[in-house]
């Protein structure tokens, strides 16, 4: 019984008198500990305290997600209010429109200064295709126009497009004879395409001043490498002292993350702003705050949606700057719009080197750049950072191995689950063995209970002596089970962030990275939503079977409340799992099936209860050496017992 010892541990704090006996349940630990606790308890005030203690970690994990969703909705309402307030009023007359357009034209021509004619022109696109993506560059601003990823599709079968909205731009302010201008609004000379010896492609845009006395020029050079999402972006400024203020480039990078997944709320919850400042990585979820100031050197900054990234990298670091972001309303189908205003120092040669990354949020791809970009992938962040090494060094390599063997990601999940259960099988067996030993001692514990009645102190002292004589560790069932907790949290993070699962179908699920919508209600039901996931149903039903089997093996079913508890917990899971990715609920289903098989085999064919009794009797005959901890515990219990007797004597 894997969680037998947990009851004893809680009993010291809650005053629960009856020891745990019976069979166990090696479910993923958070659910199993809670479930087994319910199956074995008598429901008094102290028991409720124990339930609350054991359920705290489980409930807290999902409360965080619920709060994030609530904050998304609040932010959405705030943005709607701001948008309504800032919505422009229609012009009242045609004359006003004509005057405004004329004024803008005159102002634009004046700002062009020595780059006369660059303020007007015709946009021309230059395409570069690789095995990974197709990128379009525009002469307006000499910048990327959009990027289409060849290996990733949307629900309508179109290719995923990044940085393709009117909001997206890369621009910086330059000085002109008559004022200032933004390069993002100027038309460069048409792009010049060059094929390099290493099979890379360079696209160059130039802007040359018409001032023959003090000439200046701007060149934007983009280098696209084969089989690489990273794009080199070099800016060459001839006459930088005349074009920039204080020798620093004030660069503006705007990035709009368009909705890519079916559940926009879940996608917003899993979208982050990240950066490396002063050599250290940090990140913020978009719903926690709206801006970030940088006062130390910044290596890169970017936006990670659930499965796609946009990064701007300064090869010589930004000196300072700030980043702000907003969350548009859901009907805009945009996850976040981020604006970065960064200062970049310019070398004596007038060159500033950047890199751009628009591609999938794939840990393996980002890791190879050695820029800490891979830390943006949520393999364990925040309070769950402790599971990141488990994901990086165990789960991910095993996942890649099984992925190379089978083509179905549903089967990869099943194989991964089987692998995990085999690895922890010694702990599972030890938990069941501990439960069997506790069950063998049940008659003697019952006698102690009858002997001492309500004297809990005396009962505890004699119970500890009984365990020591029998060679039974009361925590033997609890400690092994605790090692399973990181596994569950690791897989929760892994399945939420694995781009491999995006669009992968299995059985009735069209996308393992999202919940399956086999049953649709047409209306939204509180706590459940507008659908019922079939994989959630299989996870709930298998959990119910485990609970019923465990209860049937438990010798104590006299409490009428206890009889209904196995039905309550699986229903509780129904509301939690219904909006989780199908990959996670499929994993839980497979894990439950393996649990049922292990339970039956271990209890009926591996554990010999007669041998356990014989071993306990043998242990009793051996001399026992008390540990220092046992001695201190017994001394403390004896002192408490004497104090209690003295108090009774005074009365």
Q: What's the CA gap between 610 and 588, in Å, rounded?
A: 34
Phi, psi of 245 (to 5 degrees): -95, 130
Whole-number pLDDT of residue 364? 93
Instruction: State the pLDDT at residue 176.
Output: 80
Position 448 scores a pLDDT of: 76
**Secondary structure percentages of the chain, helix, strand, coil, to 5:** 45, 25, 30
Q: Mean pLDDT over all residues of the chain?
A: 78
Residue intervals of the chain classified under CATH 2.70.98.90 are: 88-377
H or E element in which residue 447 lies: helix 442-452
pLDDT at residue 649 is higher than 90 = no
Token pair for 404: 């190379």
| pLDDT surpassing 90 at residue 106 | no
pLDDT in tens, 393-419: 999 999 999 999 998 999 999 999 999
* Cα–Cα distance, 375 to 461 (Å, whole number): 51
Three-class secondary structure assignment of 4-49: HHHHHHHHHHHCCCCCCCCCCCCCCHHHHHHHHHHHHCCCCHHHHH
Question: For residue 162, what pLDDT band results from cuts at 50, 70 and 90?
Answer: very high
Integer Cα distance of 617 and 471 in angstroms: 9
Report pLDDT for 368.
93
Residue of higher predicted confidence among 580 and 108: 580
Task: Give me the pLDDT at residue 96, please.
Answer: 53
Q: Edge-to-edge strands of the sheet including 217-224?
A: 192-195, 201-208, 217-224, 230-238, 351-360, 308-318, 298-304, 272-277, 280-285
Inform me whether the pLDDT recorded for 604 exceeds 70: yes
pLDDT band at residue 14 under the 50/70/90 scheme: very low
Instruction: Indicate whether 489 pLDDT > 50.
Output: yes
Q: For residue 12, what pLDDT band results from cuts at 50, 70 and 90?
A: very low
Mean pLDDT to the nearest integer, 76-80:
56
Alpha-carbon distance 134 to 125, whole Å?
12
Q: How far apart are alpha carbons 249 and 33 in whole angstroms? A: 58
With contact defined as beta carbons under 8 Å apart, do 413 and 585 qualify? no
- What pLDDT is stored for residue 526 in this prediction? 81
Residues 6+ apart with CB under 8 A from 538: 585, 586, 589
Residue 53 confidence class, pLDDT cut points 50, 70, 90:
low
What is the band of 299 on the pLDDT scale with cuts at 50, 70, 90?
very high
600 band by pLDDT with thresholds 50, 70 and 90: confident
Strand ordering across the sheet containing 291-294: 179-182, 169-176, 248-258, 334-345, 320-326, 291-294
Residue 137: pLDDT above 60?
yes
Most confident of 36-50, 291-305, 551-565: 291-305
Yes or no: say if 106 and 119 are a contact pair by the CB < 8 Å rule: no
Indicate the pLDDT class of residue 23, thresholds 50, 70 and 90. Answer: very low
Q: How high is the pLDDT of residue 62?
A: 57
- DSSP assigned state of 331: G
Q: How far is CA 607 from CA 33, 86, 598, 617, in A?
A: 22, 72, 12, 17
pLDDT, tens digit, 9 for 90 and up, residues 530-563: 888 899 999 989 988 887 776 665 545 445 555 6
Q: What is the pLDDT of residue 5?
A: 41
Residue 426: strand, helix, or coil: helix
Question: In whole angstroms, what is the distance from residue 66 CA to residue 76 CA?
Answer: 15
> What is residue 374's DSSP assignment?
G
- Mean pLDDT of the region 172-200: 89
Q: What is the pLDDT of residue 300?
A: 96
Say if CB 491 and CB 394 are below 8 A apart. Answer: no
Please tell me the distance from the alpha carbon of residue 641 to that of residue 629, in angstroms, as a whole number.
Answer: 18
pLDDT the model gives residue 349: 86
Edge-to-edge strand ranges of the sheet holding 159-162: 125-129, 133-138, 143-153, 159-162
pLDDT at residue 619, as a whole number = 65
- Kindly state the tokens that stand for 38: 């319910």
Token duo for residue 5: 């010892």
How many C-beta atoms surround the C-beta of residue 87 within 10 A?
Answer: 7
88-377 under CATH 2.70.98.90, yes or no:
yes
pLDDT at 579: 84
Task: Give CA–CA dist 220/41, Å, rounded.
Answer: 71
pTM: 0.75
284, 275 contact by CB (below 8 A)? no
User: For 480, which DSSP code?
Assistant: H
Q: What angle do CA 341, 362, 399 make, to 5 degrees?
A: 160
Tens-digit pLDDT profile for residues 434-472: 767 777 777 777 777 777 776 777 777 777 777 777 667
Instruction: Answer yes or no: is pLDDT of 3 > 60.
Output: no
E strands, 533-644, where? none
Query: Residue 28: which residues within 8 A CB-CB, separation 6 or more?
Result: 484, 487, 488, 588, 591
More confident call, 246 vs 648: 246
**Residue 516 pLDDT exceeds 70:** yes
Count of beta carbons in the 10 Å neighbourhood of residue 2: 31
Q: What are 60's strand-pairing partners?
A: none
Return the SS3 of 202: strand
Q: What is the mean pLDDT of residues 577-589?
A: 89
Share of the chain above pLDDT 70, in %: 70
Q: Tell me, what's the pLDDT at 20?
A: 39
Per-residue pLDDT reduced to its tens digit, 237-276: 988 778 888 888 999 999 999 999 888 888 998 899 999 9
Q: How does pLDDT run across 611-637, given as a tens digit for each residue?
A: 767 766 676 666 655 555 566 666 676
**Mean pLDDT across 569-579:** 81
């Amino acid at each position: 019984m894997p969680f037998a010892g947990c009851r004893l541990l809680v009993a010291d704090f809650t005053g629960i008198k009856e020891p745990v006996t019976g069979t166990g349940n090696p479910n993923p630990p958070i659910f199993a500990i809670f479930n087994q606790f319910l199956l074995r308890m008598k429901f008094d005030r102290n028991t409720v305290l124990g339930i609350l203690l054991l359920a705290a970690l489980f409930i807290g994990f999902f409360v965080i997600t619920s709060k994030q969703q609530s904050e998304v909705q609040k932010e959405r309402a705030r943005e709607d209010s701001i948008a309504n307030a800032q919505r422009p009023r229609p012009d009242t007359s045609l004359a006003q429109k004509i005057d405004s357009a004329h004024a803008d034209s005159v102002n634009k021509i004046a700002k062009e200064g020595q780059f006369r004619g660059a303020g007007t022109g015709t946009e021309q696109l230059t395409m570069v295709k690789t095995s990974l993506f197709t990128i379009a560059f525009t002469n307006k601003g000499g910048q990327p126009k959009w990027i289409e990823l060849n290996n990733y599709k949307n629900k309508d079968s179109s290719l995923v497009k990044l940085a393709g909205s009117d909001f997206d731009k890369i621009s910086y302010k330059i000085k002109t004879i008559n004022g200032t201008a933004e390069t993002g609004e100027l038309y460069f000379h048409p792009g010049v395409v060059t094929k390099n010896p290493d099979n890379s492609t360079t696209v160059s845009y130039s802007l040359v001043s018409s001032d023959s006395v003090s000439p200046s020029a701007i060149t934007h050079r983009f280098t696209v490498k084969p089989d690489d999402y990273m794009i080199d972006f070099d800016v060459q400024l001839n006459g930088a002292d005349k074009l920039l203020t204080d020798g620093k480039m004030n660069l503006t990078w705007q990035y709009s993350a368009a909705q890519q997944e079916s559940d926009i709320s879940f996608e917003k919850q899993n979208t982050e702003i990240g950066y490396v400042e002063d050599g250290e990585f940090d990140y913020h979820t978009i719903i926690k705050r709206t801006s970030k100031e940088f006062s130390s050197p910044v290596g890169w900054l970017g936006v990670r949606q659930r499965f796609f990234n946009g990064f701007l990298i300064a090869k010589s670091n930004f000196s300072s700057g700030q980043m702000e972001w907003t969350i548009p309303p859901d009907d805009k189908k945009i996850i976040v719009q981020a604006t970065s205003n960064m200062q970049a120092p310019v070398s004596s040669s007038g060159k500033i080197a950047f890199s751009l990354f628009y591609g999938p949020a794939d840990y393996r791809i980002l890791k190879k750049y050695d820029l800490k970009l891979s830390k943006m992938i949520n393999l364990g962040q925040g309070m769950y950072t402790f599971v990141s090494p488990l994901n990086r060094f165990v789960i991910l390599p095993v996942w890649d191995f099984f992925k190379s063997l089978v083509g179905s990601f549903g089967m990869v999940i099943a194989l991964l689950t089987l692998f995990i259960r085999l690895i922890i099988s010694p702990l599972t067996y030890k938990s069941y063995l501990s439960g069997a030993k506790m069950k063998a001692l049940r008659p003697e514990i019952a006698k102690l209970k009858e002997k001492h009645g309500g004297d809990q102190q005396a009962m505890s002292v004699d119970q500890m002596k009984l365990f020591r004589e029998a060679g039974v560790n009361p925590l033997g069932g609890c400690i092994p089970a605790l090692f399973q907790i990181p596994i569950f949290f690791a897989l929760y993070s892994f399945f939420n962030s694995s781009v491999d699962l995006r669009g992968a179908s299995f059985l009735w699920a069209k996308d393992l990275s999202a919940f399956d919508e086999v049953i649709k209600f047409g209306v939204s039901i509180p706590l459940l939503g507008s659908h019922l996931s079939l994989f959630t149903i299989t996870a709930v039903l298998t959990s119910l079977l485990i609970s019923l089997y465990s209860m049937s093996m438990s010798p104590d079913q006299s409490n009428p409340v206890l009889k209904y508890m196995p039905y309550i917990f699986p229903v509780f899971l129904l509301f939690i799992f219904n909006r989780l990715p199908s990959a996670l609920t499929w994993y839980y289903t497979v894990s439950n099936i393996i649990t049922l098989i292990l339970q039956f085999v271990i209890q009926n064919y591996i554990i010999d209860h007669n041998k356990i009794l014989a071993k306990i009797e043998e242990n009793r005959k051996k001399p026992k050496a008390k540990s220092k901890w046992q001695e201190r515990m017994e001394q403390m219990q004896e002192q408490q017992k004497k104090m209690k007797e003295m108090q009774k004597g005074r009365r």
